[in-house]
Amino acid sequence: MKNNWSKSSAKKYIKKYKNIGFSKDLALRVYTTRLLGRNKELVLHGGGNTSVKTTIKDIDGKKYNVLCVKGSGWDMADIEPEGLPAVKLEPLIALKNKKYLSDEDMVSYQKRNLINIKAPNPSVETFLHAFLPFKFVDHTHADAVLNATNRPGGLNFCKKVFGNKVSIVPYVMPGFMLAKKINEIYSINPNINCLILMNHGIFTFADDAKEAYDLMIKYVSQAERAINKLKVKKIKQIKNFSTRFNAHEIAPIIRGLLSNNKDQKFVVNYRLNKHLKYFMNGKNVRSYSSKGTATPDHVIRVKPFPLIITPKKNSSIDEFKITAKKAFENYRKKYINYFNVNKNKVKGKKVMLDTSPRVVLVQNVGVFTIGKDLNAAKIAGDLTETNAKVIASVEETSAYKFIPEKDIFDVEYWSLEHLEGNVVVITGSTGTIGFETYKMFKSYGAEVVLLDYNLERLKDLQSKIKELCIHCDVRNKKSVKKVFNQICEKYGGIDILISNAGTATNGAIGEIDDNVLRQSFEDNFFSHQNCASEAIKIMKKQNINGCLLFNISKQSVNPGKNFGPYGLPKSALLSLCKQYAVDYGSYGIRSNGVNADRIRSGLMNDKMIRTRAKARSVSTDDYMRENLLLNEVKAEDVAKAFFHLATSKKTTGAVLTVDGGNIAASLR
Ligand SMILES: [Zn+2]
């Protein structure tokens, strides 16, 4: 493998990035990351990652030791400093001796220690980078390394190939446990400068950018040389015949068969070259192409196995249609079986993804790759080329061997989008809190249905977002029932209800009109009961757990003067929340609430804030910051609280306070 380091280019990077305010460390990190990312035999599309340990000045003027590590959504080939979010290093290293960290906690801890919270999510391999005490850490999924590891006896083969400054690490899924394993291996062998991760890739590290890069090229070249020395036996090919149809004639057939339900559509991209032809026309392609991908994270784009169609010789396009249809049916059956066999072997509840293939090999015709858009289809194609090359090459010298199916499944279904497949219903969704909550849940992959009473605002909302917005008067049981039925028809049910709608009514409790008080109970108590009781019926029927979340308010425990008409139903709501926890816990249905206070929203608008601030002779900003943390609480903080409660699987009957600290409103 060619070493592409150039002294003059490195200097240019340093100069260019210095001019826009970045350090030499980051400039060189960008430079060698791009060198690695632009070599297709090292990484493809978002694969691999790099890091640099450096210092950064925060707004407080203090310098912090940070790890700038590749963030999600960035490609190494065109990385920029923004694609290398800075995470405070000490808090990462502080977890070196921690026995276990869940994926959720890992992600949230990494995010919490970002210098800029708006930066992309740091890589899942952040801890691994942090634990290795070198300034520059480079990681790729080099073809030649995978070629060496993905074969029977791969571990011993690698030991012979790479020499004594390299440790060979058996497969562990990326995440905190892999980082711990690497830390353990490094502390026993502190002389190493490279790690070969079986069935995954390679890490090289040094205190100098060039040295870490040089080591990568050196070790990959060693792997290449070792493989080139092996005896090659060409893969036996099927009989070559030209079909009577062309790729463009069968692409629409494949595309049609992919859309199992007519709403789900895919883009299909065709390609063929010498390598792909050799791979897909192999006699044993059904066996070797089903053993896995070259490196685990490809599975997310190409699924664990491709669909293979063998057209009959001289068949017509109609005959092809029949063959293809049958092949698709078998593929879907095979995928469902794969899901059912493996879903119980891994942690957490899994919802099956669609059963359509992402790669269709039509023997003697070519490769069709599939994605939700053209870019995704092409990425699946590029990964297929790499997989085909690596698998074919191993097959020529041995037999392809990859990680067990359960581990492939774990990667395919290990998703940070914890809420995929969940149906979330939010009431009062056109309000500030409702809308922030919608954004939060959507960002984690949930299906969100937005309800509101205000038709005009709902229409306005619907014009801006794709998700279903439905008019619903939550005070009216019939309206709720009708809407929930509609949701069941469209989505099959409900998993998470965020009962958020409410109104603010005030007045001295001794003088308030009974009707006003009763109306407030309709708005702020019965509305929640209407939604929760309907949701419960659906959740019990589904029998797949469920979650009720109530927007309660601090008034429930800390009444404000003249706020009785609002606070009293909210106190009843607090009891309602607990009652649901008690009555439905045994069905796996959790019930929790959020006590928020002083949030800029429809209930607490700018005018109201100005009046209250004036009454206390403080500025509006100071008024909003009047809490123990001296920080304004925002709607997005409330959304986060809802999200935490929705994902805290062992919490029910609880209330989370989001008010910046107000000891008088704390629960006791
Ligand atoms: Zn990796």
CA distance readout (Å), 569 to 280, 354, 527, 666: 67, 44, 10, 18
Query: Residue 273 C-alpha to ligand 1 middle, in angstroms?
Result: 27
Contact 171, 198 (CB under 8 A): yes
Query: Residue 391 C-alpha to ligand 1 middle, in angstroms?
Result: 18
Residue 435 above 80 pLDDT? yes
Contact 50, 76 (CB under 8 A): yes
Per-residue pLDDT reduced to its tens digit, 633-663: 999 999 999 999 998 888 999 999 999 999 9
Q: State residue 112's pLDDT score.
A: 84
Query: Residue 28 C-alpha to ligand 1 middle, in angstroms?
Result: 21
Average pLDDT over residues 185-212: 95
Average pLDDT over residues 217-236: 94
Query: Residue 476 C-alpha to ligand 1 middle, in angstroms?
Result: 53
Of the candidate ranges 161-170, 254-263, 656-665, the one whose mean pLDDT is the lowest: 254-263
Query: Residue 408 C-alpha to ligand 1 middle, in angstroms?
Result: 14
Per-residue pLDDT reduced to its tens digit, 62-88: 899 999 999 988 999 999 999 999 999
Query: Residue 186 C-alpha to ligand 1 middle, in angstroms?
Result: 18
Query: Residue 68 C-alpha to ligand 1 middle, in angstroms?
Result: 17
Residue, of 14 and 245, whose pLDDT is higher: 14
Query: Residue 48 C-alpha to ligand 1 middle, in angstroms?
Result: 5
Q: Sheet of 469-471: strands edge to edge?
A: 469-471, 447-452, 423-426, 496-499, 546-551, 589-596, 655-658
Q: State residue 36's pLDDT score.
A: 96
Query: Residue 530 C-alpha to ligand 1 middle, in angstroms?
Result: 49
Query: Residue 297 C-alpha to ligand 1 middle, in angstroms?
Result: 7
Of the candidate ranges 103-107, 201-205, 213-217, 396-400, the one whose mean pLDDT is the lowest: 103-107
Query: Residue 141 C-alpha to ligand 1 middle, in angstroms?
Result: 6
Q: Sheet of 366-371: strands edge to edge?
A: 267-271, 366-371, 359-362, 307-309
Quick one: 444 exposed, middle or buried, by C-beta within 10 A (0-12, 13-18, 19+)? middle
C-alpha 70: how far from its chain's center? 15
pLDDT band at residue 132, thresholds of 50, 70 and 90? very high
Q: State residue 432's pLDDT score.
A: 93
